[in-house]
Amino acid sequence: MAERKSKADVVSEVASITGLTKVSIGEVVDAFLETVQTWVASGSEVVFIGFGTFGVSERAARTGRNPQTGATIKIAAANSPKFKPGKAFKDKVNTKKKK
């Protein structure tokens, strides 16, 4: 399994690439994430050509079963965030590592 990266890792990497401070990069990352979440929550799609699209998937109400009792239950309709990677992102992930 691949190594897991955190927000702090992203901030450190971007700071080293740009020469900006980790504090300023952290503020930009926080503002970016808040903006994307706010727009998606309001029903908008956020598109980054080549990277991907953030959006909302609507799930209809349905019936299900309680796995412990087997009783039928009603599951409410819900909105769920979704991400669809763009072609350039998919291509980057699927490139073979050079030996």
Q: Please, what's the b/e burial string for 53-90 (b: 16 or more CB within 10 A of its CB; e: otherwise)?
A: ebbeeeeeeeeeeeeeeeeeeeeeeeeeeeeeeeeeee
pTM above 0.85, yes or no: no
CA distance 43 to 82: 12
| Predicted pLDDT of residue 97 | 65
Render pLDDT for 3-34 as a digit per residue (tens, 0 to 9). 999 999 999 999 999 999 999 999 999 999 99
Is the pLDDT score of 98 beyond 60?
Answer: no
Task: Report how many helices (DSSP H) and strands (DSSP E) the chain contains, helices first.
Answer: 3, 5
Average predicted confidence (pLDDT) for the chain: 94
Render pLDDT for 45-85 as a digit per residue (tens, 0 to 9). 999 999 999 999 999 999 999 999 999 999 999 999 999 99
Which domains, and CATH codes, for the chain?
7-87 (4.10.520.10)
Cβ-contact 61, 75 below 8 angstroms: yes
